Amino acid sequence: MYDFIQKFHSGWAYLALLVLVVAVVNSFIGMSSKKEFTSKDRKIALFALIAIHIQLLVGIILYFVSPLGFASFGQMADKALRLTSLEHPLINIIAIILITIGWSKHKKLVASESKFKTFSIFYGLGLLLILSRIPWNMWF
Ligand code: HEM
């Protein structure tokens, strides 16, 4: 069980990060070129939202089956364990909340520019937070 969930979380992260990067780049391009927000732009943002939520769900399960998750919670002196048991989950949950807020906010907006701007800010911040707390040396 642990092995499967760990591999899934590790592999899905490539896809989730890729679509999130695409969504952020797309919203920056849309914002700077002042183009119209189309259903294609909405779909890109939606795919990123879904992919990142799947990553979150698998991450929560992993947290309780991994020796590096909840089982290591409290071992603050060990940098690597502090990352996987506290910083990575906490910061990523905050990032995913921001991404979700960005998605809900865009629905209430009418102007294309505001929609692109909202995605640029919320998805962009979420991406930065996620990248800041990935256990890079475990991943590669
Ligand atoms: C977008 C969000 C997330 C991304 C992109 C992400 C990505 C990653 C990556 C790349 C690793 C290293 C995997 C490896 O060893 O090959 C990892 C490890 C881990 N993640 Fe996440 N993660 C995310 C969210 C979460 C969340 C929300 C939790 C918990 C609530 C979580 C719990 C863990 C744990 C416990 C490990 C260490 C697992 C182990 O090797 O036993 N992750 N994550």
Place 42 in a pLDDT band, splitting at 50, 70 and 90: very high
Residues in the chain, total: 140
Report the alpha-carbon distance of residue 115 to residue 138 in Å, rounded: 36
pTM greater than 0.75 (yes/no) = yes
Please report, for residues 9, 57, 67, the alpha-carbon distance to residue 71 in angstroms, rounded to integers and kept in the order given: 18, 18, 5
Whether residue 58 has its Cβ less than 6 Å from ligand 1 = no
How high is the mean pLDDT of the chain?
A: 97
Residue 87 DSSP symbol:
I
> Contact 51/20 with Cβ under 8 angstroms?
yes
Whether residue 126 has its Cβ less than 6 Å from ligand 1 = no
**Average of per-residue pLDDT across 44-60:** 98
Q: How far does residue 90's CA lie from ligand 1's centre (Å)?
A: 11
Instruction: Identify the residue whose C-alpha is closest to ligand 1 atom 31.
Output: 59
> Contact 69/85 with Cβ under 8 angstroms?
yes
Whether residue 84 has its Cβ less than 6 Å from ligand 1 = yes
Q: Is residue 140's pLDDT more than 90?
A: no
Report the alpha-carbon distance of residue 54 to residue 49 in Å, rounded: 9
Q: Residue 103 is part of which domain span?
A: 2-139
**Average of per-residue pLDDT across 120-131:** 98
Report the alpha-carbon distance of residue 123 to residue 140 in Å, rounded: 24
pLDDT of residue 54: 98
Cβ neighbours of 11 (radius 10 Å): 11
pLDDT of residue 129: 98
Q: Is residue 68's pLDDT more than 90?
A: yes
Whether residue 98 has its Cβ less than 6 Å from ligand 1 = no
Q: Domain count for the chain, please give it.
A: 1
Place 19 in a pLDDT band, splitting at 50, 70 and 90: very high
Q: Is residue 57's pLDDT more than 90?
A: yes
